[in-house]
Amino acid sequence: MNKVELLAPAGDLERLKWACLYGADAIYLGGQKFSLRANATNFSLDEIKEGVIYAHNHNVKVYVTVNIVFHEDDFEGLVDYLKKLEEYNVDAIIASDMFILDILKENNINLEFHLSTQASCLNKETAKFFKKEGVKRAVLARECSKDDIKSIIDETGIDTEVFIHGAMCMAYSGRCTLSNYLTNRDSNRGACAQICRWVFDLYDEDEKINEDTDFSFSPKDLSLLNYIPELIDIGVKSFKIEGRMKSIYYVATLLSVYRRIIDSCYDGTYKYNKNDELEVYRCANRETLPQYFNKFPGVNEQYYIGRQENTNQDFLGVVLDYDEDKKEIILEQRNYFEVNDKINIFGPRKDSFSINVKYIKNEDGELVDAARHPQEILRIPCDKKVEKYDIIRISFIN
């Protein structure tokens, strides 16, 4: 039985490497052209080449998004770009504009085509159409329920990729141009201004409806954390985490939790763990819900008082090395912590553990009472051996 794929986002080369280490089976990324999230760092062609080599060395696949809705002036360089992706051994492209299927065939470019969620694959007939067209995999619309997903798989046999975690579009993906009309920024070419996070006054003719609570339509985030065994049972091929613009900490935390859950489903040790929910909630500070998976979303699946993600300061540092003689962690600081704080350390494919910070030394070996400076190199004592790329966070696990 093939194990389901855990697919992680990578906004740049550094995040790609972290995702490889923290348990991704595959990574998706955007190039500097033809990709949504036009204002993210994204990857140059050289970086894609380097990223693929790194990922393949770690037995991880790489998919490149070519998912803008093309305008007439956007074609220049596309064929050469796709040929480069093939040459660099990219495992698939994720695209929504259908003509790319013809471009691949006409130019003998051997790249697997994954249908982007922007194409609104919401029902079995849509899935059948694309399967006949040679689409290997469909990223299903986030509006699909469990029954929809199962029916599409059972009745079409197309490989399916399902979003299991991350932000949701308010609208059907690809069917929202609020950004175009309100800010002149083209949502379907990567410049979405996230109007769904704005607040508005609501009127009935001239009568203002809203008093204390403005009108808004921002969905809470998606999490299918507690439905992983069911998704595996119905035959989903790939579990996708949203968030190419998210931090290392976010991606590492989610991968760590979902990797653990998926593996436990296959080795027969799966059981519900409240701490998993706590971990995934705290790394984004946005509420997460199953959204469309088990019922049609209603009032509770949205926010009504604007943006609600607070700055997260759980991420305290990154392990650079471990001094076995002195039994000290050498770390790079990310957020403030101080002596006597309880911290938690987690790493790729291993259980986390917590310790109290007994002392902190700076680079000169001087004792300091707190870690105050971002990216400062520090030492703290720890009897248990840790490894490079382990992550240190505030201890909130019960």
Partner 1 sequence: MSEIFVPLPSKEYISLYLEQSFDGFLIGIEKFSSNFNYLYKIDDLKDVINDLKKHNLKLYVSFDRLYFNNEIEELKETITELLKLDITGICYTDVGLLNILTELNTDKEILWLSNHIGTNSKTINYLNKRGVNNVLLSNEITKDEIIKIKNNTDKNVKIGIQLYGFLNMATSSRKLLTNYFEYIDKKKEKDSYYMKDKVKKGTYKVVEGFNTNFYTGKVLNGIKFYPEFINNNIDFIVLDDYMLNENNFYNIIEAFSSLRRAHNDLGFVDKLEKVVDANTYYDTFYGFLDKKTVYRVEDYE
Touching partner 1, residues 162-201 (CB under 8 A): 170-172, 174-178, 180-182, 184-186, 188-191, 198-201
120 binds partner 1 (CB under 8 A): yes
How many CA atoms lie less than 13 Å away from 239 in the CB half-sphere?
30
The residue (of 180 and 362) whose beta carbon lies closer to partner 1 is 180
Sequence-distant (6+) residues with CB within 8 A of 383 are 327
Q: Which of 202, 295, 307, 308 binds partner 1 (CB under 8 A)?
A: 202
Q: Which of 77, 99, 266, 275 binds partner 1 (CB under 8 A)?
A: 99
Q: Tell me the CA end-to-end span of the chain in Å, nearest whole number.
A: 34
234 binds partner 1 (CB under 8 A): no
User: In this structure, how many other beta carbons lie within 10 angstroms of the beta carbon of residue 58?
Assistant: 14
The residue (of 35 and 344) whose beta carbon lies closer to partner 1 is 35
Contact 15, 48 (CB under 8 A): no
Site string for partner 1, 213-232 (x = CB under 8 A): xxxxx-x-------------
Contact 344, 352 (CB under 8 A): yes
Q: How far is the CB of 140 from partner 1 (least distance, A)?
A: 10
3-class SS of residue 377: strand
User: In this structure, how many other beta carbons lie within 10 angstroms of the beta carbon of residue 33?
Assistant: 17
Which long-range contacts (C-beta less than 8 Å, at least 24 apart) are formed by 114-117? 114/63, 114/138, 114/139, 114/161, 115/139, 116/65, 116/67, 117/141, 117/142, 117/163, 117/173, 117/174
CA–CA gap between residue 342 and residue 351 (Å, rounded): 17
359 binds partner 1 (CB under 8 A): no
Q: How far is the CB of 166 from partner 1 (least distance, A)?
A: 17
Which range binds partner 1 by CB under 8 A, 43-51, 93-101, 354-362, 364-372? 93-101
389 binds partner 1 (CB under 8 A): no
The residue (of 183 and 273) whose beta carbon lies closer to partner 1 is 183
The residue (of 172 and 281) whose beta carbon lies closer to partner 1 is 172
Q: How far is the CB of 88 from partner 1 (least distance, A)?
A: 24
3-class SS of residue 315: strand
The residue (of 32 and 362) whose beta carbon lies closer to partner 1 is 32
88 binds partner 1 (CB under 8 A): no
The residue (of 26 and 119) whose beta carbon lies closer to partner 1 is 119
Q: How far is the CB of 185 from partner 1 (least distance, A)?
A: 6
CA–CA gap between residue 114 and residue 371 (Å, rounded): 45
Site for partner 1 in 30-69 (CB under 8 A): 38-39, 68-69
**Three-point CA angle 103, 240, 105, nearest 5°:** 10
CA–CA gap between residue 168 and residue 171 (Å, rounded): 9
Q: Which of 14, 53, 71, 275 binds partner 1 (CB under 8 A)?
A: 71
Sequence-distant (6+) residues with CB within 8 A of 303 are 216, 218, 219, 220, 287
Site string for partner 1, 361-380 (x = CB under 8 A): --------------------
Site for partner 1 in 284-323 (CB under 8 A): 297-299, 301-302, 304
Q: Which helix (H) or strand (E) holds 181?
A: helix 178-183
282 binds partner 1 (CB under 8 A): no
CA–CA gap between residue 200 and residue 306 (Å, rounded): 10
Which range binds partner 1 by CB under 8 A, 125-133, 220-228, 232-240, 336-344? 125-133
22 binds partner 1 (CB under 8 A): no
Q: Which of 56, 124, 197, 282 binds partner 1 (CB under 8 A)?
A: 124
Q: How far, in Å, are 215, 242, 254, 323 from residue 226 at the CA level?
A: 31, 17, 13, 39
Q: How far is the CB of 233 from partner 1 (least distance, A)?
A: 18
Site for partner 1 in 130-159 (CB under 8 A): 130, 132, 141, 143-144, 147-148, 151-152
